[in-house]
Structure 1
Amino acid sequence: MQSQLFAIIDVETTGGGIAGNRITEICIALLKNGEVVDKYSTLVNPERDIPQYITALTGIDNDMVSDAPRFFEVAEKIEEFTKDAIFVAHNVSFDYNVIRGEFRLIGQHYNRKKLCTVRLSRKLIPGMLSYSLGRLCNTINIPHLNRHRAEGDVDATVILFQRLLSLDKDFSTISSFLNPRSKQATLPPHLPAEQIDELPEEAGIYLFKNQKHQVIYAGKAKNIKKRVLSHFYDKKTKEYQLGQETHFIDFERTGNELLALLVESEHIRNYYPKFNRAQKWPATTYQIISYENQRGITQLALGKTKAHRDSVSTFYNRAEATEKLEEICETFKLCPRFCSLQSSTEKCSHYRIKNCEGICEGSENVADYNLKVQAAIKSLDENQPTFAIQGKGRNQDEIAFALVTEGQYKGFGFFSRSEAICNIEDYEPFLKLQQASYHTHAIIRSYLKKNGDRNVVYFEKPKKLTNHRLKKLSTYKETTETENIFSHWNLG
């Protein structure tokens, strides 16, 4: 290791993510036996405008690089200069991936072993408040002149790396970092490897947190450790930026994927994480609402909203809501016109529903009609199912469950296999209450569609059976009624 060649590298760029981030300046210092043996530095024409905020940070503007060589003109020099060296940089993933991206643009492959002085510093100089190059140099008295220029940053990194070499006299730490099986080469610069070692290889959720312990990403996985590591192997700009801001990882075991999905949804709703896109925005819901018109007739209609509020019934796609409205209109002999199924102000003329008893033309008593509407509303409420989905717990002696009461997701929990769970009230001591949403509805509905009634325990309504007798549905497609429950259970 004494005679190993190290290339200490820094690049300045046009900014932005890895994709499309072009080099404006590069400096490489070759280190051998602890001493600098050669150095190469040049401005690079990025072949695009340099944003003003980058110029304000680095001092490099469009005029400075207008006559500089383009990357393809210096690529051979960079390739030869670093050919036998280990690629070293402060936050190495950034510089390494930007240079690889430049080589990729000219149809060439660039591959080197690499070392990160941020991660090495965290290991060999523990306890620092910050491991950014500027603050670390200030703390341990390393001169850092001409900051945010490639040569100035390389000169400071060279001295830092020399210090690190002196602290790792037998090269055991550096050798472990260079081991292709080591996580150190792929982990974000600020994330201790010990946190990865503590992750379980089980189902659950994980939370990426920034330096202030704020949740910046929430995810779910069948195997938490495997999924977390996959983020760091991914070279997309979003994943790279996520890694750069991650300082801590928390996790929660759920025992099975259904609960992982539900808990993930809750965390996204609570924390609104920066890097989560899905589930952050309220989805459109369609609600069957009732109101009284000028004639005193109780009308039904579909309302479209992104907020959950009181209504007769709530659905999560328009076709499902319309289908349910048509069903109760036909079943209870309501008028399509007063169910908003047609816009005509004349006598109803629905293409399928023909059993209106004349409210639209004044031949049916308003009071009698309104009683039918109330019966229809009551039927919607009574058809809301109550059930628990049971599944694998966090250990062999535990059962996990998600609970839906009268069509509304209530939450999840765990109980010991030795517990006697015979009715709906028996779940309550173990229940962790959660808020129902479009997303929890979609998760549970998808589970039922995929798995049928497997592991699902149904309960009769308390007002019908005072002893809350358990009722197990024998098959998923035993009756049309069963299919309707799966199709239309909602969060009304």
Structure 2
Amino acid sequence: MNLENQIYAVVDVETTGKGLGGNRITEICIVRMQNNQVLDKFVSLVNPQQPIPGFITQLTGIDDSMVDSAPLFSEIAQDVLVFFKDAIFVAHNVGFDYNVIRNEFKRLEIDFTSKRLCTVRLSRKLLPNKSSYSLGRLCYSLSIPLDNRHRAEGDTDATVILFQRLLSLDDDFEVIQSFLNTKSKESTLPPHVPKAQFDELPATPGVYLFKDQSHKVIYVGKAINIKKRVLSHFYTKKSKSYLMGQEMYHIDFEETGNEAVALLREADLIRHFYPKFNSAQKKPRNTYQIISYKNQRGIIQLAVAVSKSFDYSVITFYNRAQAVEKLEWMCEEFQLCPRYCSLQITTGRCTHYKLRDCEGICAGEEEVDHYNTKVNAAIDGLQNDKPTFIIKESGRTKSENCFVLIKDGCYQGYGYVDHDVAVNSIDECETFIERKTPNYHTYQIINTYLRKNEMRNVVSLDQLSA
């Protein structure tokens, strides 16, 4: 592309601030430039056809009365299109202004597209090592006048001067040409994150963390290919990805060597940081326990209860149906009474449709001690039904292995060992693992892994000791 006589349209919009999809323009300013000179300017208030929130009025000074008699966007759309004709769209944080204007045109069934440049990202490249790249801070550090802040014309006038400075620093257009290259993706990347951070991302399995300006974690994700997955967030037009990108300043990552541990680590980090833009794994999930207690007759009763860390819990489940199924198995296997296993509500003899092997404790036909002996045997059988094994997976390098430890049916954590290190017992495994707290999500991850892989990569306690 020959940029010598290229026309640029420098833009700023003020909006109602109601998320990307519902964000409507309240004011717009466009300045056409060519050969580093201003050709023309378009400025207009816009009736957004919705109330302007108080915090927006406080920021911009634009209120409902100011836009009440202003034109609708549909009434100025053709004028706006004229200003963008044959021009490259330029804005400070271009993704915001471009998407808001594109959505306004979309409501009018007009497909608006344009090449675009972001003066935030250009400034990072051509004016490195600034403490901040916000428009206000940049203008202050470069002695650029910024009058009428947070109004479309004031911000656009300052962006024009900034862009003129940037053009003078790139007199051969090498940087601008590289930014306009479709492969560079500069215009789609979050404005506050240096491209170098994206370049450093590995194409390996692991987790990634998006952080805001104060390094607070706002999103955690997992990936088979970290670089590809991170970039995919910003190729989409979804509102969540866009809003997340506006708050991002830093990216961290951890390589895990395999997808299974990436999933487990993601669940652990979401539980720890409770990030703003994660939703699914933050929803509370009930866990269930089979509990045992003695009633007034001295009979040991069993029941399924929502988990509250009962001291008399026998086993914990992350699904009520599985807990009931296991209780039915105990009842049938050890000839227990459905009434005293809380599987049937009755005050007399049990009459369960499926479980018919009760020996009469409910009717006074069985000794309490005999019945309680069977209950204790059932509890012991349940405890013995908790498997111990490891899941063996790829490590982070070719010279190491990764393993996930399940002990007595409960997820313990994961660890990495070099190929030449022999691990021959669970005790030895435990010296290598990073301890983790099991929860509903880790339970689901491990169960899904076992179903999907049909027990491949699973090493039992007997095999480990052999």
Normalising by the residue count of structure 2, what TM-score does the alignment of the two structures yield?
0.97
**Do the aligned partners of residues 183 and 16 (structure 1) sit closer, same or farther apart at CA in structure 2, a change above 3 Å counting?**
same
Shift in Å at residue 305 of structure 1?
A: 3.3
Query: Aligned to 1:143, which of 136, 145, 153?
Result: 145
Shift in Å at residue 308 of structure 1?
A: 8.7
1:444 aligned onto 2:446? yes
1:242-391 equivalences in 2 (<5 Å): 242-305=244-307, 311-391=313-393
1:140-179 equivalences in 2 (<5 Å): 140-179=142-181
Deviation string 1:45-69 (CA, Å, 9 cap, x unpaired) is: 1111211221121111122112211
Greater alpha carbon shift after TM alignment, 203-212 vs 418-427 = 418-427
Q: Any conservation in 2 of the 1:284–1:306 contact (CA below 8 Å)? A: no
Greater alpha carbon shift after TM alignment, 308-317 vs 207-216 = 308-317
Shift in Å at residue 357 of structure 1?
A: 1.2
Deviation string 1:331-372 (CA, Å, 9 cap, x unpaired) is: 111110010001111111111111111111112111221121
Report the Cα distance in structure 1 between the residues aligned to 2:137 and 2:242, rounded to whole angstroms: 22
Report the Cα distance in structure 2 between the residues aligned to 1:469 and 1:308, rounded to whole angstroms: 34
Q: Any conservation in 2 of the 1:124–1:167 contact (CA below 8 Å)? A: yes
1:29-428 equivalences in 2 (<5 Å): 29-305=31-307, 311-428=313-430
Report the Cα distance in structure 1 between the residues aligned to 2:388 and 2:5, rounded to whole angstroms: 72
Report the Cα distance in structure 2 between the residues aligned to 1:469 and 1:194, rounded to whole angstroms: 47
Q: In the alignment, residue 282 of structure 2 is paired with which amino acid?
A: K
Report the Cα distance in structure 2 between the residues aligned to 1:282 and 1:263, rounded to whole angstroms: 18
Greater alpha carbon shift after TM alignment, 393-402 vs 269-278 = 393-402
In the alignment, structure 2 segments of 5+ residues that lack a partner are: none
**Do the aligned partners of residues 160 and 393 (structure 1) sit closer, same or farther apart at CA in structure 2, a change above 3 Å counting?**
same
SS of the residue corresponding to residue 281 of structure 2 reads: coil
Q: Any conservation in 1 of the 2:209–2:252 contact (CA below 8 Å)? A: yes
State the partner residue of 2:15: 13
Shift in Å at residue 429 of structure 1?
A: 3.2
Q: In the alignment, residue 114 of structure 2 is paired with which amino acid?
A: R
SS of the residue corresponding to residue 181 of structure 1 reads: coil
State the partner residue of 1:431: 433
Q: In the alignment, residue 426 of structure 2 is paired with which amino acid?
A: I
Shift in Å at residue 18 of structure 1?
A: 1.1
Q: In the alignment, residue 378 of structure 1 is paired with which amino acid?
A: D
Q: Any conservation in 2 of the 1:412–1:433 contact (CA below 8 Å)? A: yes
SS of the residue corresponding to residue 187 of structure 1 reads: coil
Q: In the alignment, residue 154 of structure 2 is paired with which amino acid?
A: G
SS of the residue corresponding to residue 37 of structure 1 reads: strand
Shift in Å at residue 396 of structure 1?
A: 2.1
Shift in Å at residue 130 of structure 1?
A: 1.6
Greater alpha carbon shift after TM alignment, 88-97 vs 172-181 = 172-181
Report the Cα distance in structure 2 between the residues aligned to 1:112 and 1:335, rounded to whole angstroms: 74
Q: Any conservation in 2 of the 1:282–1:306 contact (CA below 8 Å)? A: no
**Do the aligned partners of residues 308 and 85 (structure 1) sit closer, same or farther apart at CA in structure 2, a change above 3 Å counting?**
farther
Shift in Å at residue 173 of structure 1?
A: 1.3
Q: Any conservation in 2 of the 1:336–1:342 contact (CA below 8 Å)? A: yes
Q: In the alignment, residue 139 of structure 2 is paired with which amino acid?
A: C
Shift in Å at residue 76 of structure 1?
A: 1.0
Q: Report the RMSD for the aligned CA atoms in angstroms.
A: 1.5
Q: In the alignment, residue 469 of structure 1 is paired with which amino acid?
A: S
Q: How many residues align?
A: 464
Report the Cα distance in structure 1 between the residues aligned to 2:165 and 2:310, rounded to whole angstroms: 60
**Do the aligned partners of residues 201 and 468 (structure 1) sit closer, same or farther apart at CA in structure 2, a change above 3 Å counting?**
closer
Deviation string 1:87-121 (CA, Å, 9 cap, x unpaired) is: 00010000000000011111011111101111111
SS of the residue corresponding to residue 323 of structure 2 reads: helix
**Do the aligned partners of residues 309 and 167 (structure 1) sit closer, same or farther apart at CA in structure 2, a change above 3 Å counting?**
farther
SS of the residue corresponding to residue 20 of structure 2 reads: coil
Q: Any conservation in 1 of the 2:291–2:310 contact (CA below 8 Å)? A: no
Shift in Å at residue 281 of structure 1?
A: 2.9
Report the Cα distance in structure 2 between the residues aligned to 1:127 and 1:453, rounded to whole angstroms: 52
In the alignment, structure 1 segments of 5+ residues that lack a partner are: 461-466, 471-492
Deviation string 1:3-38 (CA, Å, 9 cap, x unpaired) is: 211111001111121101111110001111111111
Q: Any conservation in 1 of the 2:149–2:155 contact (CA below 8 Å)? A: yes
State the partner residue of 1:469: 465
Shift in Å at residue 468 of structure 1?
A: 6.9
Report the Cα distance in structure 2 between the residues aligned to 1:118 and 1:310, rounded to whole angstroms: 60
Normalising by the residue count of structure 1, what TM-score does the alignment of the two structures yield?
0.92
Deviation string 1:448-467 (CA, Å, 9 cap, x unpaired) is: 1111111100115xxxxxx9
Q: Any conservation in 1 of the 2:293–2:312 contact (CA below 8 Å)? A: no
**Do the aligned partners of residues 307 and 253 (structure 1) sit closer, same or farther apart at CA in structure 2, a change above 3 Å counting?**
farther
Shift in Å at residue 422 of structure 1?
A: 2.6
Report the Cα distance in structure 2 between the residues aligned to 1:35 and 1:78, rounded to whole angstroms: 19
Greater alpha carbon shift after TM alignment, 358-367 vs 342-351 = 358-367
